[in-house]
């Protein structure tokens, strides 16, 4: 039988199968952060169950971390407590923690791939919906709830119903100024936020094959925003090259053996998916969202649709936008380049390439937040920081930051923020804040111009 990439990885991890029922899946790598782990640790402690395989758990602090003065005690008592609990729980249970200030600290979905913790063919989970990011390596990676976190702590396994299969194909040539973020915003705008519900999605076609690992992570990251359990891309030379030499990647002969296995993973020719979509790359243009879910996206140069239904109207009212309105020249006071969607080195290179030699718009407050300490160092090593500083921007320290209002970086009520993150829900970036999702290029241009512009007219 012809198998998909998903089938191959899944089948290699089934410990036990119940006929017509759920399956017990072995989990290779469990990632944790401060938000969704405390109750799971408590549950195990109450029941007197030890962590089964602490070596397969890695922790980081990201959601509640401040992005300035990380060397000082965390001011916000709630965040301080949350971070202290994580430290205590990891110490007690022999779990490696890359806490605040550690050279490997960062957003869980940024630090694990860059350390080589994420590898093709793995099963990976985290109590965080954007765990789908790691699927960019050809692993089955998905978010789990806190009770499942406890399940994995106790058994390194999960009881699961196998999801259905979905393939999204994008073929052709992308236009200048169209980035991975635009591709996924376009796909979600076309398919809607429920198209993937009950499915695991594979992205296929030359557009994904030609993407860097950073781009693939951006795409897989947002799989959850179209409802999919996760997303994945077949591992290839780009993947192997990225993993090679990373801190926790296999080395030498062991690496070569892994590569031999990883090469067997791509979907067999002729394998059938439960659902399949095809898109033409040349139809995609730089995108922005105008509403309060990630599916409400348009080409930057388009106008807001003129639908008539209550939730659409509520969404526009929240955003203070009109049906049929163009967003070009719309004044923007806040720009956020960061989050596990777009805070990798490539994202800052793109931003720097636009910003070089220009000056920040006077009305704009911009937060440039690297996804990890390693990305932060790379930015400095590559001299991008100087470009940002000369333009009037200051780099902050790693963390989830303004992606969600769980730390000090909040967008004020009523303000618009062009953001490279993945969710534009009501209140996501702060109470009453209005989020416009975009690529790092569109975000950088907004920070320079102080308004939304047609990026394609501003490319050299």
Ligand X SMILES: CC(C)[C@H](C(=O)O)[C@@H](O)C(=O)O
**Is residue 63 a contact point for ligand SF4 (CB under 6 A)?**
yes
Tokens of 48: 């007197």
14-17 and 23-26 strand pairing: antiparallel
Q: Are 269 and 2 in contact (CB under 8 A)?
A: yes
SS3 at position 308? coil
Of 103-142, binders to ligand SF4 (CB under 6 A) are 107, 109, 128, 130
Whose Cβ is closer to ligand SF4: residue 108's or residue 271's? Answer: 108
Of 387-416, binders to ligand X (CB under 6 A) are 404
- Binding residues for ligand SF4, how many (CB under 6 A)? 13
The 10 Å CB-count burial string (b at 16+, else e) for 322-348 is eeeeebeebebbbbbbbbbbbbbbbbb
Q: Which of 64, 118, 129, 419 is in the footprint of ligand X by CB under 6 A?
A: 129
Residue 311: CB atoms within 10 A of its CB come to 11
Alpha carbon 67 to chain centroid, angstroms? 18
- The interface partner of residue 35, options being ligand SF4, ligand X, none and the CB cut-off 5 to 8 Å by kind, is ligand X
- The interface partner of residue 107, options being ligand X, ligand SF4, none and the CB cut-off 5 to 8 Å by kind, is ligand SF4
Q: How far is the CB of 36 from ligand X (least distance, A)?
A: 5
Name 354's Cβ contacts closer than 8 Å, sequence gap at least 6. 441, 444, 445, 448, 458
- Binding residues for ligand X, how many (CB under 6 A)? 8
Q: Which of 403, 438, 441, 442 is in the footprint of ligand SF4 by CB under 6 A?
A: 403
What CA–CA distance (Å, rounded) separates 299 from 110? 28
Whose Cβ is closer to ligand SF4: residue 106's or residue 121's? Answer: 106
DSSP codes joined into one string, 91-116: HHTT-EEE-TT-TT-B-HHHHHHHTT
What CA–CA distance (Å, rounded) separates 155 from 162? 19
Q: How far is the CB of 424 from ligand SF4 (least distance, A)?
A: 12
**What sign for the dihedral angle of Cα 213, 392, 428, 446?**
negative
**Is residue 404 a contact point for ligand SF4 (CB under 6 A)?**
yes
Binding mask 417-446 for ligand SF4 (x = CB under 6 A): ----xx------------------------
SS3 at position 290? coil
- The interface partner of residue 233, options being ligand SF4, ligand X, none and the CB cut-off 5 to 8 Å by kind, is none
Considering only the stretches 20-28, 128-136, 177-185, 374-382, report the one whose residues sit in contact with ligand X under the rule CB under 6 A.
128-136
Whose Cβ is closer to ligand SF4: residue 65's or residue 315's? Answer: 65
- The interface partner of residue 225, options being ligand SF4, ligand X, none and the CB cut-off 5 to 8 Å by kind, is none
Residue 3: CB atoms within 10 A of its CB come to 15
Binding mask 141-180 for ligand X (x = CB under 6 A): --x-------------------------------------
DSSP codes joined into one string, 381-435: HTTHHHHHHHHT--B--SSSGGGSSSSS--PPTT-EEEESSS---TTTTSTT-EE
**Is residue 111 a contact point for ligand X (CB under 6 A)?**
no
Of 340-359, binders to ligand SF4 (CB under 6 A) are 340
* H helical segments located in 115-251: 146-155, 180-191, 206-209, 213-221, 237-243
Q: Distance from first CA to last CA of the chain, Å, rounded?
A: 50
Phi/psi of residue 141, each to 5°? -130, 130
Q: Are 447 and 355 in contact (CB under 8 A)?
A: yes
Q: How far is the CB of 110 from ligand X (least distance, A)?
A: 12
Q: How far is the CB of 440 from ligand SF4 (least distance, A)?
A: 14
Whose Cβ is closer to ligand SF4: residue 130's or residue 299's? Answer: 130
**Which of 192, 183, 189 lies closest to 219 in space, CA to CA?**
183
Q: Which of 13, 130, 134, 181 is in the footprint of ligand X by CB under 6 A?
A: 130
Please tell me whether 417 is known to bind a ligand. no
Q: How far is the CB of 391 from ligand X (least distance, A)?
A: 29
What CA–CA distance (Å, rounded) separates 130 from 265? 23
Please tell me whether 403 is known to bind a ligand. yes
Of 44-63, binders to ligand X (CB under 6 A) are 63
Residues forming contacts to ligand SF4 in the complex (CB under 6 A) are 62-63, 107, 109, 128, 130, 339-340, 400, 403-404, 421-422
Residues forming contacts to ligand X in the complex (CB under 6 A) are 35-36, 63, 128-130, 143, 404
Annotated binding site: 340, 400, 403
């Amino acid at each position: 039988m012809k198998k998909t990439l998903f089938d191959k990885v899944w089948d290699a991890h089934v410990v036990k199968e119940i006929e017509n029922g759920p399956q017990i899946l072995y989990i290779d790598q469990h990632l944790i952060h401060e938000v969704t782990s405390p109750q799971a640790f408590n549950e195990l402690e109450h029941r007197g169950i030890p962590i089964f395989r602490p070596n397969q758990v890695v922790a980081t602090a990201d959601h509640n971390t401040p992005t300035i003065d990380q060397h000082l005690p965390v001011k916000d008592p709630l965040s301080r407590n949350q971070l202290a609990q994580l430290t205590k729980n990891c110490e007690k249970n022999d779990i490696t923690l890359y806490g605040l200030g550690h050279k490997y600290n960062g957003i869980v979905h940024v630090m694990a791939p860059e350390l080589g913790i994420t590898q093709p063919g793995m099963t990976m989970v985290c109590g965080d919906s954007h765990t789908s990011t790691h699927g960019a390596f050809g692993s089955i990676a998905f978010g789990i709830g806190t009770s499942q976190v406890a399940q994995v702590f106790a058994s390194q396994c999960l009881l699961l119903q196998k999801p259905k299969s979905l393939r999204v194909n994008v073929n052709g040539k992308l236009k200048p100024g169209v980035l991975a973020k635009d591709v996924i915003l376009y796909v979600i705008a076309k398919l809607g936020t429920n198209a993937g519900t009950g499915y695991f999605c594979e992205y296929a076609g030359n557009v994904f094959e030609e993407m860097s690992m950073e781009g693939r992570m951006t795409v897989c990251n947002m799989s959850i925003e179209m409802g999919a359990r996760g997303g994945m891309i077949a591992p290839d030379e780009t993947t192997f090259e990225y993993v090679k030499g990373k801190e926790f990647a296999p080395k030498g002969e062991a690496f070569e053996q892994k590569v031999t296995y990883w090469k067997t993973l791509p979907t067999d020719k002729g394998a059938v998916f439960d659902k399949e979509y095809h898109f033409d790359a040349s139809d995609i243009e730089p995108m922005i969202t105008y509403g309060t879910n990630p599916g409400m996206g348009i080409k930057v140069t388009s106008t807001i649709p003129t639908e008539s239904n209550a939730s659409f109207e509520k969404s526009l009212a929240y955003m203070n936008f009109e049906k049929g309105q163009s967003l070009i020249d719309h004044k923007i006071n806040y720009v956020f380049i960061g989050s596990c969607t777009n805070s990798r080195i490539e994202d800052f290179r793109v931003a720097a390439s636009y910003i070089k030699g220009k000056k920040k718009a006077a009305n704009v407050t911009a937060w440039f937040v690297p996804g990890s300490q390693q990305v932060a160092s790379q930015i400095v090593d590559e001299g991008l920081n100087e470009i940002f500083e000369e333009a009037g921007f200051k780099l902050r320290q790693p963390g989830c930051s303004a992606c969600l209002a769980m730390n000090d970086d909040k967008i004020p009520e009523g303000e618009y923020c062009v953001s490279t993150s993945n969710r534009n829900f009501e209140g996501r970036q702060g109470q009453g804040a209005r989020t416009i999702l975009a690529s790092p290029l569109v975000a950088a241009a907004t920070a320079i111009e102080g308004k939304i512009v047609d990026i394609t007219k501003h490319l050299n």
